[in-house]
Amino acid sequence: MPRTDRSPRRRLDPAQRRDAILDAARAAFATAPYSAVGVAGIAATAGASEALVHRYFTSKAGLYLAVVAESIDELLTRQVAADTALGSRAAVRLRLATSIEVYLEVIGSSPVGWAAPLRDARHEVPGAAELRARARDRYVELLRGILGLGTDQPRGSSPSGLALHGYLGFLDAACLAWVADGCPPEQRGALVAMAVAALAGALDAVGTAHALT
């Protein structure tokens, strides 16, 4: 039966179609929690059919995991690029503050989607928590590089590893409060300063030398 809608689908090659679906999904999950997003809406935005979405990503969960993985890679790429632009001779405090600023920019662009899994972990998609845990480990290594800390001990088992993971927990908790306030830009400076001080305090508490003060 011929289609009767007035918005004919664009003819795209498979890679372009997949990218269009990912773009639509990224926008949808950025503005609503997982449970409130439907495959039909994503397909319509991408100019595709639901069957095509399932062909590329198997399920809504598979599509969500693809978006999460892509978002994590983009964040870390942006943080590395920002740090590289500063140069290794830049003050450690500035390098850390810059990485936090990049994180706040990402959160501010999609606060609902970022906060949803932290506010209600019970509805987290299987596999997403593992992706985020691996991303946290990667970011800890980025922090170790910024701070000049060694990596000879297993991740998280050393005092400095505990301090770094604890700092990330503090940062996310503070960012949740910031999101609840509507991400006011005037609070960003204080949030960055608090996060830097939190990490410095954690490293001081475990006797790890650093250059944040």
Position 1 scores a pLDDT of 41
What the block records as the tokens of 186 is 């005037």
Q: Give the residue extent of every domain in the chain.
A: 9-58, 69-205
In the chain, % helix, strand, coil (3-state, to 5) comes to: 75, 0, 25
Q: What is the pLDDT of residue 5?
A: 45
Beta strands per DSSP E along the chain: none
Output the pLDDT for position 15: 85
Do residues 208 and 159 lie in contact, with contact meaning Cβ atoms separated by under 8 Å? yes
This prediction has a pTM of: 0.86
Distance CA 50, CA 61 (A): 14
Question: What pLDDT is recorded for position 157?
Answer: 65
Q: Residue 123's pLDDT is what?
A: 74
For the chain (213 residues), the mean pLDDT of every run of 10, in chain order, is 46 81 94 92 94 94 94 93 92 96 95 90 84 92 89 65 94 97 97 97 94 87
The encoded tokens of residue 77 equal: 């790429």
CATH code for residues 9-58: 1.10.10.60
